[in-house]
Amino acid sequence: MFEYILWSVENGVARITLNRPSVFNSMHHAMRQEVLAALDLCRNGDAIRAVYLTGAGRAFCAGQDLQEVVDPNGPALHDILASGYNPMVRAIRNLEKPIVCAVNGVAAGAGANIAFACDITVAAASASFTQAFSKIGLIPDSGGTWTLPRLVGLQRATALMMLSDKISAEEAASMGLIWKVFPDDTFAQESLRLAETLAQMPTRALGMTKRALNRAFSNDFNAQLALEDDLQTQAGQTYDYQEGVAAFLEKRKPAFRGE
Ligand code: T3D
């Protein structure tokens, strides 16, 4: 089905594994299109209630494939963003299902900013992050100039982007760039368990939570209260809300359906 990513669906979780390990899962046109197609399957698949994004081999993703940008027949920088990274991070933010990004190794350039765009990003203890762009004369893209100041504040975002220092998973967690770090030997199981947990939760409420968070930095307080009111009204009409309350009152575990 795909050549440059691995794809599977199990226990309500769609697993997307970036799979060009020999070039640290850096992305060329075909790979970017496959990731976009996979995110589209996630959006349309009713059985999919959470997404798990990771990389094969030693890296999560080294961002743009730099061989592609020196190819005289390759795409222009604008096209790479307009048809690749921009729709990708938009699809990640707009997908009304939780996305766990499991950073298994180095995440650089667009690879780092794709990871930071996901809902819950965790990393193996040996993983690392670098903006990388400034080292090759580019500016941070894939939403990084929007996301990073919101995650860590202007000073840290500026230093990370201008210096492109490689930071450890622990440093990333301590400054709030990511959620958690897992030991290397349990990383795969623990990060997947996180996605599987989310896949059993009330999917529509989680999706609407994401919609509200997407607006949190542009709405004023009153607009956000109005949005919460609207979304809460919708959440209150779901099967999972009824089930959640009934399970609580009956002192049993809820069986959410994502409906
Ligand atoms: O159109 C546009 O360009 C706009 C869009 C931009 C989006 C971007 O993402 S721009 C930023 C692009 N990415 C980078 O600049 C990162 C380049 N890579 C690195 O800085 C380093 O490779 C890492 C810090 C990620 C890892 O370093 P290290 O020492 O652990 O590994 P390595 O030896 O450098 O890389 C391993 C292999 O992967 C190596 O191949 P080889 O020598 O074993 O055959 C290396 O060439 C390859 N590789 C790593 N990154 C890329 C890559 N090949 C192509 N493109 C890459 N980005």
The Å distance, Cα 80 to ligand 1 centre, comes to: 16
Q: Whose CA is nearest to atom 38 of ligand 1?
A: 23
Fold of the domain built from segment(s) 203-249: Lyase 2-enoyl-coa Hydratase; Chain  A, domain 2 (1.10.12)
| Ligand 1 probe mutation, 24, 103, 136, most atoms within 8 A of CB | 24
pLDDT in tens, 170-198: 999 999 999 999 999 999 999 999 999 99
Residue 240 has what pLDDT?
98
Predicted confidence at residue 5, as pLDDT, reads 98
Best residue among 23, 67, 70 to mutate for probing ligand 1's pocket (most ligand atoms within 8 Å of CB) is 23
Residues with Cβ within 6 A of ligand 1? Answer: 23-24, 26, 62-67, 69, 77, 80-81, 106, 108-110, 130, 132-133, 136, 138, 141
- pLDDT of 16-33, one tens digit each? 999 999 999 999 999 999
**What is the reported pLDDT for 149?**
98
Tell whether pTM > 0.95.
yes
Residue among 140, 105, 82, 116 nearest 25 (CA): 105
CA of 171 to the centre of ligand 1 (A): 21
Helices and strands (H, E) in the chain, number of each type: 12, 10
Query: Which residue's CA is the nearest one to ligand 1's atom 5?
Result: 64
| Superfamily of domain 5-199 in the CATH hierarchy | 2-enoyl-CoA Hydratase; Chain A, domain 1 (3.90.226.10)
What residues does each domain of the chain span? 5-199, 203-249
Report how far ligand 1's centroid is from the alpha carbon of 240 (Å): 44
pLDDT per position as a tens digit, 89-131: 999 999 999 999 999 999 999 999 999 999 999 999 999 999 9
Question: Starting from the edge strand earliest in sequence, which strands make up the sheet with 120-124, in order?
Answer: 5-10, 13-18, 50-55, 99-103, 120-124, 180-182
The string of pLDDT tens digits covering residues 130-180 is 999 999 999 999 999 999 999 999 999 999 999 999 999 999 999 999 999
Q: Could you tell me whether strands 106-108 and 99-103 are parallel, antiparallel, or unpaired per DSSP bridges?
A: unpaired
CB within 8 A of 144, min separation 6: which ones? 112, 113, 116, 131, 133, 161
Residue whose CA lies nearest to ligand 1 atom number 47: 23
